[in-house]
Amino acid sequence: MAALQKIRSKGGLLIVIIGLGLFAFIAEEFFRSIETTANQSRQQVGKIYGKNLSTQDFQSKVESYENVVKFMRGVTSLTEQEATAARDQVWQLYVNKELIGHEAQKLGLTVTDGELQQVLNEGTLPALQQTPFSNQETGRFDAALLKNFLNEYDKLQSGTEQVPQQLQEYYANLYNYWKFMEQNLRDQLLEQKYQVLLYKSILSNPVEAKQDFEGNEVKNNISLVAFPYSIVPDANIKVSDAEIEAKYNETKEDYRNYLESRDIKYISVAVTASEKDQAELTEEMNNIATKLAQTDDVASVVRSSNSLITYAPLPVTKNAFPADIQLQLDSIQPGTLKGPYRNAGDNTENIIKLIAKTQAPDSIMFQQIQVGGETPEEAHQRADSIYAALQGGATMKELAGIYGQTADSTWLTSAQYERSQIDDENARFISAINSLGNGQTTNLSFAGGNIILKVIARKNPVTKYDVAVIKRTVDFSKETYSKAYNDFSHFVATNTTLKDIEQNAAKEGYSLLTRNELYNNEHYIAGISNTRDALKWVFDEAKPGDISPLYECGDNDHLLLVALTKVHKEGYRPLEEVKELVRASIVREKKADQLAQSLANVKSVAEAQAVQGAVTDSINDIYFGQDAFIKATGSVEPALSGSLWEEQNGSFVGPVKGNNGVYVYQILDQTKQEDEFNDKQQEERAAQLHARNLNNLLSDLYIKAKVVDKRYLFF
């Protein structure tokens, strides 16, 4: 009882303690929720119509697209520039899909399977011509080839058909490639539907059509006198702050930023090879040239040389090599060697050994049967039986059908394997096709199974080269890089403000450069690769006046220092930032008024020529409906063309205020075109002219969708 009484006496305090405990628990959950939300927000690469795109989802899309690119090019990896271009393309495809999809959903627009199949059957879209399903005879997409492949792939997935591992990987990559293309094709068709709907909604009318026709019906030759605004000194024009403010408010939309940007100053140091570095590479290349001249095993020499160009024992066309190597090939005799020699164009030392030169077909049609088995031995035995049956008179089609294959005729062109990394098995496969004559057959044995090949046709003979190329970049040494780094690092450490850098950069041999209106979607600063950290600093960390750390960037061959000078926020640029631009527009208007007033009483070209600053010109073939370009002022002048309306031959016209000057002119000759007015055609033409305004459609939708692009934080 005493204990209960004590608890009762402390009841108010207990309520407070319990309340504080509950508050702490709730607050902990609240702050944990905020932290979770913030972490999720930090992992978003972008936003469209309020819909977030996570880094994981974006990276997944990028990897899918990169696999498509690698498959199409026959390569196993992409350069940094290619990877950046791939990420840009994926982002653009995603944004376009979301923008168009948002509008199409409101309109009820879709692409049906039937519509997609119709497009495939027609096979006329340019994108389809680039796929592996093009008929080599016609050069057009062949829907039957695609259907056959998809059937083969289904059999492969069901396990009813055994093929070598290498072919399984190829089929899987080709299938993924096609699924990407199919989705991309659907998106294109939906965008086309949406655009056609918009274009068809733009109409003209008979009155406008008649005016448009008449505006291009009369051709005029004129004698012109121009008065460029430059003849009036700027000092003669007075502009008040009140006028500037009024003009700014009137034209405020001209100074609106839809995206944030930054103004920066920077120093970029490109590290290059020293004379010592160049001499050492030349000595190494001389040793390689000696080995290459004395051996028939050129493949091992090329492999050990660190050449930028690999070697495969296959005759290839010139297109397999860079342009500088192509220029050398016909000047070298088979069995001889050229180099080492320097090519300044790509900063390389080069050696070329031409092993053989021959005429060979550029395109070969072949059939194949892939032969698998539970073990390699079983596959070899089965292939021997198939090959024997072929020698006995059986056909490829008959035998392929037994194993669930079609043995369709396929064209192999040089372009399909040149410039690709070719392993030993692929080299054997291609060599076999190249070496067979029309109607000849061979049985190729690989680790995972066999392939029976038969050549059907050979065409387009071209010159091919079996050539080994050693191409080495003239690189700097670690010692050279260390010196450049230490020198620049000392400069950065002793110049800690922008004022210091501006005063001392040139003295130390560095160039301080300016870049205004840098956007975060540009990826690079000063065109240098691997500057993501610097870009992130500029947009996410720095304040005006800040100096960045020293960045090592490029291909580990550049040093970079950045200073942020100004931030341009999204929205209207403040008057103080655009004051000079506004002033310039007012000055131009006042000059126009002043010149026009001085010409008010001029009644002829001769009188105008007597006015100080006059520039005389003759312009032929000028129409009311077409903007005129005036050489005297270097400007397109719509107002000048517009002033021709209903003017008669011999008329004196002016003064006309233009973009770069004031003009007076006399019509010397008028020629009326003999075209007959067709109201329907002219209405269509006028509607098409209006439809040009739709060229900025995606830009307008982009702004409307409030797209947020934060790729620079992650990629």
Query: What whole-number distance in Å separates Cα of residue 591 and Cα of residue 244?
Result: 15
**Model confidence pLDDT, tens digit, residues 392-431:** 889 998 888 888 788 888 899 988 888 777 888 888 899 9
Confidence band, pLDDT 50/70/90 cuts, at residue 36 = very low
Mean pLDDT throughout 20-38?
49
**Model confidence pLDDT, tens digit, residues 234-257:** 999 999 999 999 999 999 999 999
Give the best-scoring range by mean pLDDT among 166-180, 648-662, 674-688.
648-662
**Model confidence pLDDT, tens digit, residues 446-481:** 887 899 999 999 999 999 999 999 999 999 999 999
**Model confidence pLDDT, tens digit, residues 8-21:** 455 555 455 555 55
Contact indicator for 365, 390 with CB cutoff of 8 Å: no
Helix residue ranges, H only, 392-448? 396-402, 424-435
Query: What whole-number distance in Å separates Cα of residue 691 and Cα of residue 535?
Result: 38
Q: Which residues pair with 564 in a beta bridge?
A: 264
Q: Which pLDDT value is given to residue 574?
A: 93
Q: Which pLDDT value is given to residue 200?
A: 82
Mean pLDDT throughout 224-243?
95
Check whether 5 has a pLDDT greater than 60.
no
Q: Could you give the percent of the chain with pLDDT greater than 70?
A: 93
**Model confidence pLDDT, tens digit, residues 300-335:** 999 999 999 999 888 999 999 999 999 999 999 999
Instruction: Name the residue with tokens 């387009």.
Output: 460
Q: Which pLDDT value is given to residue 4?
A: 39
Query: What whole-number distance in Å separates Cα of residue 265 and Cα of residue 709?
Result: 24
Q: Which pLDDT value is given to residue 210?
A: 77
Confidence band, pLDDT 50/70/90 cuts, at residue 168 = confident
Q: Which pLDDT value is given to residue 101?
A: 94
According to DSSP, residue 549 is labeled P
Question: What is the 3-state secondary structure of 409-424?
Answer: CEEEEHHHCCCCCCCH
Considering the chain, what is the average pLDDT of its residues? 88
Upstream peptide bond of 315 is cis (omega within 30 degrees of 0): no
Quick one: tokens of 426? 């692929």
Q: Residue 494: CB partners within 8 Å, gap ≥ 6?
A: 500
Quick one: tokens of 309? 């160009």
Q: Which pLDDT value is given to residue 161?
A: 61
Mean pLDDT throughout 564-583?
93
Check whether 283 has a pLDDT greater than 80.
yes
Q: Which amino acid is at 497?
A: T
Query: What whole-number distance in Å separates Cα of residue 273 and Cα of residue 416?
Result: 37
Asked whether the whole model's pTM tops 0.75, one would answer: no
Confidence band, pLDDT 50/70/90 cuts, at residue 199 = confident
Confidence band, pLDDT 50/70/90 cuts, at residue 38 = very low
Query: Which stretch of DSSP H or E encloses residue 341?
Result: strand 337-343
Which pairs from 158-163 meet CB under 8 Å and 24+ separation? 160/404, 161/372, 161/403, 161/404, 161/405, 162/372, 162/373, 162/379, 162/449, 163/370, 163/372, 163/449
What CATH number has the domain spanning 276-473? 3.10.50.40
Q: Which pLDDT value is given to residue 131?
A: 85
Check whether 225 has a pLDDT greater than 90.
yes
Check whether 546 has a pLDDT greater than 60.
yes
CA dihedral for 624, 628, 632, 633, sign (positive or negative): positive
Q: Look at 414 and 24; give whichever has higher pLDDT.
A: 414
Q: Look at 420 and 55; give whichever has higher pLDDT.
A: 55
Quick one: tokens of 421? 């990394």
Question: What's the Rg (C-alpha) of the chain?
Answer: 36
Confidence band, pLDDT 50/70/90 cuts, at residue 33 = very low
Mean pLDDT throughout 99-127?
92
Mean pLDDT throughout 159-186?
82
Confidence band, pLDDT 50/70/90 cuts, at residue 31 = very low
Q: Which pLDDT value is given to residue 8?
A: 47
Confidence band, pLDDT 50/70/90 cuts, at residue 3 = very low
DSSP-based three-state secondary structure for 656:
strand
Q: Look at 61 and 153; give whichever has higher pLDDT.
A: 61
Confidence band, pLDDT 50/70/90 cuts, at residue 7 = very low
Q: Which amino acid is at 70?
A: K
Q: Which pLDDT value is given to residue 358?
A: 92
Contact indicator for 177, 676 with CB cutoff of 8 Å: no
Mean pLDDT throughout 492-508?
96
Domain covering 261-272+477-569 assigned CATH 2.30.40.10 in the classification:
no
Q: Which pLDDT value is given to residue 599?
A: 95
Q: Residue 609: CB partners within 8 Å, gap ≥ 6?
A: 225, 616
Query: What whole-number distance in Å separates Cα of residue 635 and Cα of residue 431?
Result: 61
Confidence band, pLDDT 50/70/90 cuts, at residue 2 = very low
Upstream peptide bond of 340 is cis (omega within 30 degrees of 0): yes
**Model confidence pLDDT, tens digit, residues 502-528:** 999 999 999 999 999 999 988 899 999
Of 22, 176, 43, 128, nearest in space to 710 by CA:
43
Q: Look at 669 and 76; give whichever has higher pLDDT.
A: 669
| Number of C-beta neighbours around residue 701 at 10 A | 19
